[in-house]
Amino acid sequence: MGLGIEVISRRGEAHLFYFRIALIKAVPLDR
C-alpha cells in the first residue's frame, strides 16, 4: 500500500505541475 500511496502522490504532483504549466501558457507573460 505504501507504493500505491507514493504513486498517487507522484501522480498528484505531476497533475499540479502540468496544470501550472497550462496556467502559465494560458496567462499572457507580459501583463
Q: What is the pLDDT of residues 1-31, one digit of tens each?
A: 466 667 666 676 777 777 888 888 877 766 5
Please report the beta strands in the chain, taking only residues with DSSP state E, as ranges in sequence order: none
d(CA 13, CA 3): 15
Q: What is the pLDDT of residue 20?
A: 80
Q: At which residue does the C-alpha cell 501558457 appear?
A: 25
Q: What is the domain range of residue 24?
A: 1-30
Q: What is the pLDDT of residue 21?
A: 83
d(CA 13, CA 15): 5
Question: What is the DSSP secondary structure assignment for residue 29, as one 8-state letter?
Answer: S
Q: What is the pTM of this model?
A: 0.40
State the first-to-last Cα distance of the chain, in angstroms, to the nearest integer.
Answer: 46
User: Count of domains in the chain?
Assistant: 1
Quote the Cα angle for 27-16-18, to 5°: 60
Q: What is the pLDDT of residue 7?
A: 67
